[in-house]
Amino acid sequence: MHTWIPEERNFAYLNWKQVEALPKDTTLLILPTAAIEQHGHHLPLATDTLINNLLLGKALEKLPKDVPVYALPPICYGKSNEHIGFPGTMSVSAATFMAVVRDLGASVAASGFKKLVLYNSHGGNSALNDVMARDLRAEFGLRMFQMGASGGAKFEDIGAQERAYGLHAGELETSLLLAATPKLVDTSAYTVNYIADVTKPEVLKPEFAPATFAWLTRDIAPSGVMGDPNPATAEKGERWIEEAATHAAVALTAMFHYENHYKL
């Protein structure tokens, strides 16, 4: 798969003697977690993996050259059982996903490193990364960090409805791929599903409500899209890639300097 990770930041391009020579106390390793799953009629299965790699690569480009930060190869397969029933979705169970993250955390610790980031671009993995960040902190003494791939970028110019419920293959993801991999976007095949309305005060919604129900995509979004890709443009994508990469670089820098903040 295409990668945007700068070669000098690609952990797997190092040999073991180079890894041995890295400053173990300060080096920040990043484990990307993503997905291979349906993204409607118009985006590829690898959308979350491509976006993860793209935003991380652009963020890493912004870090000072002498800061030791490296990206591990991503976990491309995530917990995607919400998209089961759509051909092409490749899901692993929560237990499998957590076992892989745990074993890689063990390997990071065994290699002598102290700091690991879980860098996620797929919603279905978020709860598992919450659990695993704390478990790896407790079990191996690693300083654990986690973040969403866009680093908390607000994307203010996306409308309120799309910002809340454009969760999947909507304006944001479609714009990012129109900018980065336009050949992988079928602009003739857009579909629209909104799974809830931000202006309606129902108590019970699938997400972002006082009470929620456990949803499968096929229950609430027949085409697999949650959101509206129609307003997507490559120009927006370029802008949002820059915004997300800037936020992600700030977050990674804060993780790198964590000890200084907390005087550990």
Interacting residues with Zn ion (CB under 5 A): 47-48
Contact (CB, 8 A) for 17 and 3: no
Q: Which amino acid is at 158?
A: I
- Name the residue number minimizing CB distance to Zn ion: 48
Distance CA 189, CA 223 (A): 10
Residue 211: strand pairing partners: 204
Q: Which residue's structure tokens are 């003739």?
A: 188
Q: How far is the CB of 122 from Zn ion (least distance, A)?
A: 6
Rank residues 27 and 47 by Cβ distance to Zn ion and give the closer one: 47
Q: How far is the CB of 188 from Zn ion (least distance, A)?
A: 20
Q: How far is the CB of 32 from Zn ion (least distance, A)?
A: 14
Rank residues 105 and 124 by Cβ distance to Zn ion and give the closer one: 124
Helix axis angle for 171-180 and 234-256, nearest 10°, is 90
Q: How far is the CB of 137 from Zn ion (least distance, A)?
A: 28
For the chain, what is the radius of gyration of the CA atoms? 19
Rank residues 48 and 171 by Cβ distance to Zn ion and give the closer one: 48
Contact (CB, 8 A) for 120 and 34: yes
Rank residues 27 and 174 by Cβ distance to Zn ion and give the closer one: 174
